[in-house]
Amino acid sequence: MKEMLNQIRATALEKIAAGEDLEQIRIQYLGKKGELTAVLRGMGKLTAEERPVIGQLANQVRADIEAAIAEKAEALKAGALAEQLKAEKLDVTMPGKTMRVGHVHPLTRVQRDMEEIFIGMGFSIAEGPEVEYDLYNFQKLNIPENHPARDTQDTFYITDNILLRSQTSPVQARTMEVQKPPIRIISPGRVYRSDAMDATHSPLFHQMEGLVVDKGITMGDLKGMLETFAKAQFGEETRCRFRPHHFPFTEPSAEVDVSCFACGGKGCRLCKGEGWIEILGAGMVHPNVLSMCGIDPEEYSGFAFGMGIERIAMLKYHVDDIRLFYENDVRFLEQF
């Protein structure tokens, strides 16, 4: 019997190794009607001494055959998988299937970037009409009728009293009229000036202005705020330069340059060798403006600033012609 068992094992392992059908082998040797089972049925005839020995051997044979089958099955599976993977190989250098993506307009992109910076500093976004009363665009901003400062902003008029806003500052006046300090707003939007279209001028462009009014606001605060903005917008290394200027609605007023973000201030083509790029007008809100908008300049002070979005977009993205923003050629738009 011992020989029979060993014989069964040898034959079965041989067949497994030869690659015969594993299920067939399992049935033939290990199945209910299989050869091993048949041998074991003869166990009853054995003596009490032989029985455990043979039983142990039989179990061993069964285990060996099962293990061999499992091992072979595993090998076959691995081989098949390898085959499959090989067959499924792709040319990864072929272009991807395009998922169409829409592009943000570069002006929107700059505007949203700036909005995020100021929202982070506690600003809200204020909006106002583009077709505006002279009252808000000029008079409440300390620019009375026939003031020479009006010359610098050639204005489109609808009627004597209604115009296309030449700056987003009227939103500041409107905000101050209805909101008590603390005020921290930015007002981005379209403005209009009667400039013929060329590479650097457009009769319609975008500005973003900011206004802070509160108790104890200082000119140092204005510098600090704009420096923070400039670093966030143009990079940590950016420095600011404040030059005295005149705007009727601020006093003192400043023009603000940032260190050239192309050359870092050494002088290059972008900054025309100056090392500085003018991007902002700013100043402390004129007490007349505060008074006209119903805020007591003795109690409150504030600052305001404004910049052109096109200008910043042109500088940041090296766009050399302002008209590209309004032509909307997709070959241009897709670069943003």
Partner 1 sequence: MNLSFNWLHDYIDTDKITDVKKYCDRMTDTGSKVEGYEVLAGDVTNVKIGKVVAMERHPDSDHLWICQIDVGAEAPIQIVTGAQNVFVGAIVPAAVAPANLPEGKQIKAGKLRGVDSNGMLCSFGELGLTSHDCPGKEENGIWILDECYGQYLGQDVCDCLLIRDTVVEFEITSNRPDCLSVIGLARETAASMDLEWHVPPVSVKGTGDGDSIDNYLSVGISAPDLCYRYAAKVVKNVKIAPSPDWMRMRLRAAGVRPINNIVDITNYVMLEYGQPMHAFDYKQIEGKAINVRRAGDGEVFVSLDNISHTLDSSMLVIADQNKACALAGVMGGLNSEIENDTVTVVFESACFSGPDTRVTAKKNGMRTESSARFEKGLDPENCLPGLMRACQLVEMLGAGDVVDGLIDVYPGKKEQTILPFTPEKYNKFLGTEIDEQTMIDILATLECRVQDGKIYVPSFRSDLGCMQDIAEEIVRIWGYDKIPSSCIKAETTQGMRTPKQKLFVATEQLMYGMGISQIQTFSFISPKYYDAIALPADSALRTSVVISNPLGEDTSVMRTTALPSLMEVLQRNNNFSNQNVRLFEMATIYLPDADPALLPEEKTVVTIGMYGDADFYCMKGAVENLLKMAGVKAPVYTACTENPSYHPGRCATVTTADGKYLGVFGQIHPVVADNYGMNIPVLCAEIDFDALFAVCNTEPDYKPLPKFPAATRDYAFVCEEELEVGKIMSVIAKAGGTLVENVELFDIYRGEKLGAGKKSVAFRVTLRAADRTLTVEEADKISKKIINDLKFKLGIALRA
Contact set for partner 1, span 245-264 (CB under 8 A): 245-246, 248, 251-255
The radius of gyration of the chain from alpha carbons, rounded to an integer in Å, stands at 42
Q: Which of 4, 130, 264, 316 binds partner 1 (CB under 8 A)?
A: 130
Cα 300 to chain center, whole Å?
A: 38
- Residue 61 found at the interface with partner 1 (CB under 8 A): no
Task: Report in angstroms how near the CB of residue 310 gets to partner 1 at its nearest.
Answer: 10
Query: Nearer Cβ to partner 1, position 28 or 253?
Result: 253
- Which stretches of the chain are DSSP H helices? 2-18, 22-25, 35-41, 50-87, 106-120, 134-137, 169-178, 219-234, 287-292, 309-317, 324-327, 330-333
- Calpha distance 216→299 (Å, rounded): 8
From residue 24, give the alpha-carbon distance in Å to each of 7, 16, 30, 240: 18, 10, 10, 85
Distance between CA 282 and CA 104 in Å, rounded? Answer: 29
Q: Is the Cβ–Cβ distance between 190 and 206 less than 8 Å?
A: yes
Regarding 102 and contact with partner 1 (CB under 8 A), the answer is: yes
Q: Does 318 bind partner 1 (CB under 8 A)?
A: no
According to DSSP, the residues that pair with 329 across neighbouring strands are none
Helices (H), 128-255: 134-137, 169-178, 219-234
301-308 and 276-285: which strand pairing?
antiparallel
Nearer CB in complex with partner 1: 2/112: 112
Indicate which single residue of 29, 123, 229, 249 sits in contact with partner 1 (rule: CB under 8 A). Answer: 123
Judged by CB under 8 A, the chain residues 36 through 55 that form the site for partner 1 are none
- Angle CA(225)–CA(137)–CA(247) in degrees, nearest 5? 50
Binding of partner 1 by 120 (CB under 8 A): yes
- CB of residue 263 vs partner 1: minimum separation in angstroms? 18
Q: Output the smallest distance, CB 156 to partner 1, in A.
A: 5
Q: 177-236: which residues touch partner 1 (CB under 8 A)?
A: 182, 184, 190, 192, 194, 196-197, 203-204, 212, 214-221, 223-225, 227
Cα first-last separation, the chain: 85
Using CB under 8 A, which of the segments 43-51, 81-89, 141-149, 259-267 binds partner 1? 141-149
Among 103, 180, 266, 272, binds partner 1 (CB under 8 A): 103
Q: Which of 104, 177, 199, 266 binds partner 1 (CB under 8 A)?
A: 104
* Distance in Å, CB of 162 to partner 1, minimum: 7
Q: Which of residues 146-175 bind partner 1 (CB under 8 A)?
A: 146-149, 151-152, 156-159, 161-162, 164
Q: Does residue number 63 form part of the binding site for partner 1 (CB under 8 A)?
A: no
Task: Assess 99 for contact with partner 1 (CB under 8 A).
Answer: yes
Residue the block writes with tokens 């902003």: 153
Q: Does 86 bind partner 1 (CB under 8 A)?
A: no
Relative to beta strand 124-125, strand 183-192 is parallel
| Binding test (CB under 8 A) with partner 1, winner from 145, 178, 236, 320 | 145
Overall size of the chain counted in residues: 336
Which residues 296-315 are close enough to bind partner 1 by CB under 8 A?
Answer: 301
Residue (58 or 226) nearer to partner 1, CB = 226
